[in-house]
Protein backbone atom coordinates (compact mmCIF):
# COMPACT_ATOMS: atom_id res chain seq x y z
CA UNK A 1 0.00 0.00 0.00
CA UNK A 2 1.23 3.48 -0.83
CA UNK A 3 2.10 5.94 1.91
CA UNK A 4 1.33 9.61 2.26
CA UNK A 5 2.97 12.40 4.25
CA UNK A 6 0.71 15.03 5.74
CA UNK A 7 2.08 18.24 7.20
CA UNK A 8 0.00 19.77 9.98
CA UNK A 9 0.53 23.13 11.71
CA UNK A 10 -0.73 22.83 15.26
CA UNK A 11 -1.37 25.92 17.36
CA UNK A 12 -1.21 25.67 21.17
CA UNK A 13 -3.91 27.29 23.32
CA UNK A 14 -1.38 29.56 25.03
CA UNK A 15 2.32 30.35 25.32
CA UNK A 16 2.34 28.42 28.60
CA UNK A 17 1.76 25.05 26.90
CA UNK A 18 4.81 22.77 27.21
CA UNK A 19 5.60 21.99 23.57
CA UNK A 20 7.60 18.83 24.36
CA UNK A 21 4.69 17.42 26.33
CA UNK A 22 2.28 18.50 23.58
CA UNK A 23 4.36 16.69 20.92
CA UNK A 24 4.45 13.50 23.00
CA UNK A 25 0.68 13.62 23.59
CA UNK A 26 0.02 14.21 19.87
CA UNK A 27 2.23 11.27 18.94
CA UNK A 28 0.48 9.00 21.45
CA UNK A 29 -3.00 10.03 20.24
CA UNK A 30 -2.56 9.11 16.58
CA UNK A 31 -4.35 6.08 15.09
CA UNK A 32 -2.54 2.78 14.46
CA UNK A 33 -0.56 2.61 11.19
CA UNK A 34 0.29 6.32 11.56
CA UNK A 35 3.64 7.69 12.71
CA UNK A 36 5.40 11.00 13.17
CA UNK A 37 8.38 11.50 10.85
CA UNK A 38 9.45 14.67 12.63
CA UNK A 39 8.30 17.77 14.48
CA UNK A 40 9.41 21.34 13.82
CA UNK A 41 8.65 24.49 15.77
CA UNK A 42 7.59 27.69 14.01
CA UNK A 43 7.50 31.00 15.90
CA UNK A 44 4.25 32.86 15.19
CA UNK A 45 4.06 36.08 17.27
CA UNK A 46 4.18 37.34 20.85
CA UNK A 47 5.90 34.20 22.11
CA UNK A 48 3.44 31.78 20.48
CA UNK A 49 5.17 28.87 18.77
CA UNK A 50 3.30 26.49 16.47
CA UNK A 51 4.24 22.83 16.16
CA UNK A 52 4.60 21.52 12.61
CA UNK A 53 4.08 17.74 12.47
CA UNK A 54 5.14 15.60 9.52
CA UNK A 55 2.86 12.56 9.69
CA UNK A 56 3.37 9.34 7.69
CA UNK A 57 0.16 7.42 6.99
CA UNK A 58 -1.22 4.79 4.62
CA UNK A 59 -3.07 6.06 1.60
CA UNK A 60 -6.62 5.10 2.50
CA UNK A 61 -9.89 6.95 2.65
CA UNK A 62 -10.75 8.84 5.81
CA UNK A 63 -7.26 8.68 7.32
CA UNK A 64 -6.74 12.47 7.20
CA UNK A 65 -10.03 13.03 9.03
CA UNK A 66 -9.06 10.52 11.72
CA UNK A 67 -5.71 12.22 12.25
CA UNK A 68 -7.22 15.71 12.40
CA UNK A 69 -9.83 14.60 14.93
CA UNK A 70 -7.21 12.87 17.08
CA UNK A 71 -5.01 15.97 17.16
CA UNK A 72 -7.93 18.32 17.86
CA UNK A 73 -8.84 16.25 20.94
CA UNK A 74 -5.39 16.71 22.50
CA UNK A 75 -5.44 18.96 25.56
CA UNK A 76 -3.57 22.18 24.80
CA UNK A 77 -4.32 22.25 21.06
CA UNK A 78 -6.19 25.34 19.91
CA UNK A 79 -6.28 24.97 16.16
CA UNK A 80 -4.87 22.82 13.35
CA UNK A 81 -4.14 23.58 9.70
CA UNK A 82 -3.24 21.08 6.99
CA UNK A 83 -0.30 22.53 5.08
CA UNK A 84 0.39 19.75 2.60
CA UNK A 85 -0.44 16.17 1.69
CA UNK A 86 1.77 14.27 -0.70
CA UNK A 87 2.32 10.66 -1.74
CA UNK A 88 5.78 9.30 -0.92
Check which CATH number belongs to the domain holding 26 and give it: 3.30.70.60
Indicate if the pLDDT at residue 24 is higher than 90.
Answer: yes
**HSE, side-chain direction, 13 A CA sphere, residue 28:** 8
- Give the domain range for residue 13: 3-87
Average pLDDT on 50-60 reads: 95
Q: Which residues pair with 7 in a beta bridge?
A: 54, 84
pLDDT of amino acid 60: 85
Indicate if the pLDDT at residue 62 is higher than 90.
Answer: no
Of 20, 38, 30, 24, nearest in space to 72 by CA: 30
Element (H or E) spanning 19, and its range? Answer: helix 19-29
pLDDT of amino acid 73: 96
Q: In total, how many domains does the chain have?
A: 1
Q: What would the pLDDT profile of 32-47 be if each residue is shown by its tens digit?
A: 899 999 999 999 988 8
Burial of residue 41, with CB atoms counted within 10 A of its CB: 0-12 exposed, 13-18 middle, 19 or more buried: exposed
Amino acid sequence: MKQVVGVFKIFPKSVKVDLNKLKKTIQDSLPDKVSIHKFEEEPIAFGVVAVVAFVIMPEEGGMMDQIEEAIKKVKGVSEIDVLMVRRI
